[in-house]
Chain A
C-alpha cells in the first residue's frame, strides 16, 4: 500500500505541469489578489437614493464623477449585484429617513480606488458632523457655525459596510489565502486522477492485482497517495501564506481538521473520477472544469453573500462551501467546537465518497 502511494507521489511530482499547479499558480493568484486590492480597474460607484437628504450632502463631497445612479424598487439589489460581479467598485445606499444608517457595499477581495474614495467621503462627512456636534457641546457656537459654513449641515451619520460581512469579514490576503487553499486542494486532487486513468489504459492497474496483496489495500494505496498530494497542497498554501503574507489561520487544530477532511474529499473525488473516465485527456478536462465550477458554486471565487438566493442553496451541495464556511470561522478565531457542524458535514461527505470510490474501484478492477 505504501509502495503504491509512494509511486503516485513520485509520479505526480515528477510532472512539471503539476509542479507549476502546486507550487507556483496558487501564489501567483494570491499575489495578484493582494496587488489588485485597492487598484481594481473599476472606479465607478453605484448610488441608490441620490435625492434623499443624506444623499445630496454626501454626493456634494463625492463629486459627480464616475457615479452610476440606481432608482426604483430593485435599486438596492441591482446595485449590490453589480458590485458582486465586479462591474462597480462599490455602491452606497442613502436612506429615506435621516435617522437610518447609510449602507454601502464594498467587497474586501475586490477593493479599488473607487471604493477607497467612497470610504473617504463617508468618513469626511462623519468627521465634520462630529466636529460640529463637539463644538456645540463645548458651547463654542461660533466654531460650530464655522464648521457648518464649511458645508456640513447634517447630524452624525451611521454607516454600515455590507461588504464587511463577506468571507467572514476577513481582509484581502486572508480571504484570498482561504479561497485559494480550497480551490487548489481540490484541483490538485482532480488532476491526480489522470494517473489512475493512465494506469487503467496501460494495464498497470490490472497488473497491481496480480500481486499477492488484497484488493482493498491496493485501492487504499491509491486513495492515500492522492490524500497525501491534496494535503500537501493545502498545507503548502496555509504555511506559505502564514509565513509570507502574515495570514492568521487561527487554531491549528481546528484549521488542520478542516483542511485534512477537505483534502480527503478531494482525494476520493480524484479516485472516483479516475475510475469513471477512460481517456487521460478527458480526466484532465473534466477535472479542471469540475474543480473550477465547484469552486465558483461553493463560494471560492466570489463571496457567497452576493449570490442570488437559489445559488446560495446550491452552494451548500459543494464541499467547498463547508470548507470555506469552516475556515472563515477558524480564521476569525473560532475553535474546533465552533466548526463542529461543518466538520460533521465534511466527515459525512468524506465517508460517503471514500466508500463509493473504494467500491467502484474494486468492482472495476475485478470485473
Chain B
C-alpha cells in the first residue's frame, strides 16, 4: 500500500509543529522518520493515522484519503503510539481481542490472530496475565501487537523501542523486520540512528517540523560529502604517498604502523587498497571501516547533535 503525504502542515498556537511535509512510501518500503525531540514526528504520524486534523495538506493511503472521519483508510493502517496505550487492567489476550473486534475480526479468525500476534512478540506465555504486571519491554511488545493484529498494509510505529532493554529491543526489531519481509510497508520514527540504519530502506530527517533531508543512508551521506574512513594497523610502516595514489583514496595519514585512510567507498575500494599495501611488503594486522552515519548527517545539517545528553 502506497502512502503519499503532500504539503502537510500543523501548528499548535503559534508553534509550527509540522511545516510543509511531503513524503512517499511505496508498497513494501521501509521508511524511517528521524528527528530530535520535538521535531514533529509524533504530530506528523498522528495526522497520517487520522488522529489529528492537519491545517493544510493531504494524505493518501492507496487511493483513499485519510481524514479524521475516514473509516476505510484506517483499515490499511496499523498504529503503534509512542506511549504505551494498553489497558493495564486487562490481560494481553483481552487487549488484543478488543482491538481485533474493533477492526471487525470475530470468532475463530480473531482467536487465530490473537494467538499469532502473541507468538510473534514472544508473549504467548503471558497471554492471560494482566498487562500491568508486565515488564516495560513486554508492555512495549503488547503495544506493538495491538497495532499489527489486523495485519495492516502500512505499519506506523512511533519510537517503539524507547526505554526498552536490549533484549526486548531486539525482539521488537526482529518482529518488525519479519513483518516488513512479509511485504508490510513501514513508517518508523526514532531518534536512534542505528535502528533506522538497520530497518529502513529510506529515511527522512525532520527538524523543527521541516524535512531537511531525505534518501537512503548512502545517498544522504554522499550528499553530505563525507568520506568513509579505514583505520589500519600494519606490521611495518609504509609510504603514505603510495597509499594516497591508490584509486578512490582522498587522503592517508600514517604514524608508524597505524594510520587512517579516507576513501569514497570503503567496502568497494578495500581490496585495491590492501593490494597496494601488500605491494610494499607490509601485511595488515587489523582494519576497521568507519562509514559516516546519520548522526553525522544530522550534525552536519543542523550543527546540533541528534540527541541531547543521554536520551
Contact = CB atoms under 8 A, between A and B. Distances in A.
B71 A14 contact: no
Contacts of B75: 212
B79 A210 contact: yes
B52 interface: yes
A206 B146 CA distance: 13
Contacts, number: 71
A7 B98 contact: yes
Contacts of B72: 212
Contacts of A212: 71-72, 74-75, 102-104
A14 B101 CA distance: 21
B235 interface: no
B77 interface: yes
Contacts of A206: 46, 51, 81, 85
B291 interface: no
B101 A202 contact: no
Interface string B40-72: 000000100111110000000000000011011
A14 B90 CA distance: 9
| Interface of chain B, main secondary structure | loop
B90 A10 contact: yes
A7 B51 contact: no
A366 B85 contact: no
B89 interface: yes
Contact of A214 (B71, B98, B99): B71
Interface residues on A, range: 20 to 34
B53 A203 contact: no
Nearest to A1: B102
A208 B51 CA distance: 10
Contacts of B50: 209-210
Interface string B243-263: 000000000000000000000
B94 interface: yes
Given A11-B90, A209-B50, A210-B51, A366 B68 contact: yes
A213 B94 contact: no
Interface in B80-119: 81, 83-90, 94, 98-99, 101-104
A332 B50 CA distance: 54
Interface in A187-211: 202-204, 206-211
A203 B85 contact: yes
Contact of B53 (A4, A214, A367): A367
Given A11-B89, A202-B85, A202-B86, A366 B51 contact: yes
17 contacts: A3-B102, A4-B98, A4-B102, A10-B94, A15-B89, A202-B84, A203-B85, A204-B85, A206-B85, A209-B51, A210-B49, A210-B77, A210-B79, A211-B74, A212-B104, A213-B102, A367-B52
Interface of A: 3-4, 7, 10-11, 14-15, 202-204, 206-215, 366-367
Interface of B: 46, 49-53, 68-69, 71-72, 74-75, 77, 79, 81, 83-90, 94, 98-99, 101-104, 146
Q: Which 9 A-B pairs have the closest CB atoms?
A: A203-B85, A211-B102, A3-B101, A366-B68, A212-B75, A210-B79, A212-B74, A203-B83, A207-B85
